[in-house]
C-alpha cells in the first residue's frame, strides 16, 4: 500500500483534504544535485543507467516533498528504440543528423521489441519503486505520437515545426504511417511500464497546440485516444496537451483519468470546457516561480480556490525552468500542502 496516495485519490475523483502536488520536470535541472550528475554524465547516459535514473527520480521527493514521483527519462527514447539516431546537443536540445522527410525513410522506421530496446527503462522503474519504498506513487510517461513526429521530421526543436506540418499536409499517407508506428511502439512501451510497476501514466502532447482544431483531430488526438484505450483499464492515464484548450471537451470523454491544462487557459474555462466532471491538473505558469515565495504562495492558493480542491492536481502548466531557485519550487509545494479550503 502506498502511504501517501493523495495523487491516486485525486485521479479517482475522491474527496481529499487538499489537492496533491507534483511538478512536470521536477526531477531535473533546477536541483543542484541534478546539476552535479549532469557534469559527470551526458543526458542519454543518465536516461539509460537505471541507478542514475532512480537517483534523479527520487531527488525531488526528498528535497521538495512532492506527492508523486515521475520517472526520469525522455520522450525521445521511444524513437531511438525505433532505430532513429537522436543526439542531445548543448544549447540546441534534441538534434537528428538525418531527419525523416520521405516515405522511404518512414518505411525504414521499425516497431521494435520494447523489452529488448527499452529494458533499461523497466529496470529503472523497478529500482525506483524499491527506493521509494511505497512513500508516494510513481508516474511513467511518453510523448504523444504527434509530438514525437515533430522532432523526427523537423530534426530539432522549433517555434512552429513548419517542416513537420508541411510533411503531414503534403505526404499525409506517410505521415499517418509514421504516427501509427509511433503509436504502436508507445502502447507496447507503456504496457511494459505498467508491468514494471508504475502507478499512473501521462501522455505529453507538448506540440499539440501547433495544430488547428481540425488538424489536431487528424494528426494528434486520434493517436492519443488509441493509447488511452489500450491502457486506461490498467492504470489511470493523464492526457496533457499544451495549448490544446480547444480539445478539452473531446479529451474529457476519452477515458483519461485526468487532463493537464497549461497557464493560458483559466481554471474556470478549463472546468467549463471539460464538462466539470473530470480531474484537472495544472496550471501555474512555470515563469511565475521566479516571483518571491510569498507571492507564489498567495497565487497558488488562488489557483486552488479557482479549480476547487477536489478532482484537482496542483502542478505547473509545463515543465519547471532550469533557472528556478529551489526555495521557490519548495514554496510552490508548501503552498499546496498548507492549503485549507
- Could you list the residues known to form a binding site, using ranges: 25-29, 44, 74, 151, 206, 318
Known binding residues for substrate: 25-29, 44, 74, 151, 206, 318
- Sign, CA torsion 88/207/144/73: positive
Alpha helices (H) in the chain, listed in sequence order: 6-11, 32-40, 43-48, 50-63, 77-81, 103-108, 114-117, 119-132, 145-154, 162-170, 172-196, 213-216, 222-231, 248-252, 267-273, 293-307, 326-337
Return d(Cα 263, Cα 105) in angstroms, integer: 37
The DSSP output letter for 25 is T
According to DSSP H, which parts of 171-211 are helical?
172-196
Given phi > 0 = left and psi -120 to 50 = alpha, else beta, which region is 286?
A: alpha
* Whole-angstrom distance, CA of residue 142 vs CA of residue 120: 15
How far the first Cα of the chain sits from its last, in Å, is: 27
Taking only Cα atoms into account, the Rg of the chain, rounded to an integer number of angstroms, comes to 19
Closest CA to 143 of 152, 135, 134: 152
Length of the chain (residues): 341
What CA–CA distance (Å, rounded) separates 313 from 218?
29
Q: How far apart are CA 144 and CA 211, in angstroms?
A: 13
Amino acid at each position: 500500500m502506498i502511504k501517501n496516495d493523495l495523487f491516486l485519490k485525486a485521479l479517482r475523483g475522491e474527496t481529499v483534504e487538499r489537492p496533491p502536488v507534483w511538478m512536470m520536470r521536477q526531477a531535473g535541472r533546477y536541483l543542484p544535485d541534478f546539476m552535479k550528475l549532469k557534469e559527470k554524465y551526458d543526458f542519454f547516459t543518465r536516461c539509460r543507467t537505471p541507478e542514475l535514473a532512480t537517483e534523479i527520480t527520487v531527488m525531488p521527493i526528498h528535497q521538495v516533498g512532492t506527492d508523486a514521483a515521475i520517472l526520469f527519462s525522455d520522450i525521445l527514447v521511444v524513437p531511438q528504440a525505433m532505430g532513429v539516431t537522436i543526439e542531445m546537443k548543448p544549447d540546441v536540445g534534441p538534434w537528428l543528423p538525418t531527419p525523416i522527410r520521405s516515405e522511404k525513410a518512414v518505411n525504414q522506421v521499425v516497431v521494435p521489441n520494447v523489452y529488448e530496446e527499452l529494458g533499461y527503462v523497466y529496470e529503472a522503474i523497478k529500482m525506483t519503486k524499491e527506493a521509494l519504498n511505497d512513500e508516494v506513487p510513481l508516474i511513467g510517461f511518453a510523448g504523444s505520437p504527434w509530438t514525437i513526429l515533430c522532432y523526427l521530421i523537423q530534426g530539432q526543436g522549433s517555434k512552429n515545426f513548419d517542416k513537420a506540418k508541411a510533411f503531414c499536409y503534403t505526404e499525409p499517407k506517410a505521415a499517418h504511417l509514421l504516427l501509427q508506428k509511433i503509436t504502436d511502439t508507445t502502447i507496447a512501451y507503456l504496457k511494459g511500464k505498467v508491468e514494471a510497476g508504475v502507478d499512473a501514466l501521462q501522455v505529453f502532447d507538448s506540440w499539440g497546440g501547433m495544430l488547428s482544431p481540425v488538424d489536431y483531430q487528424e494528426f494528434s488526438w486520434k493517436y492519443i485516444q488509441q493509447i488511452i484505450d489500450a491502457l486506461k483499464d490498467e492504470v489511470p492515464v493523464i492526457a496533457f496537451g499544451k495549448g490544446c484548450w480547444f480539445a478539452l471537451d473531446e479529451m474529457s470523454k476519452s477515458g483519461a483519468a485526468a487532463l493537464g491544462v497549461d497557464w493560458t487557459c483559466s481554471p474556470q474555462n478549463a472546468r467549463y470546457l471539460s464538462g466539470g466532471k473530470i480531474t484537472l491538473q495544472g496550471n501555474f505558469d512555470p515563469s511565475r516561480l521566479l516571483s518571491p515565495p510569498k507571492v507564489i504562495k498567495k497565487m497558488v492558493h488562488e489557483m486552488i480556490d479557482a479549480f476547487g480542491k477536489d478532482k484537482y492536481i496542483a502542478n505547473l502548466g509545463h515543465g519547471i525552468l532550469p533557472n528556478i531557485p529551489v526555495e521557490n519550487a519548495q514554496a510552490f509545494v508548501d503552498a499546496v500542502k498548507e492549503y485549507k479550503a
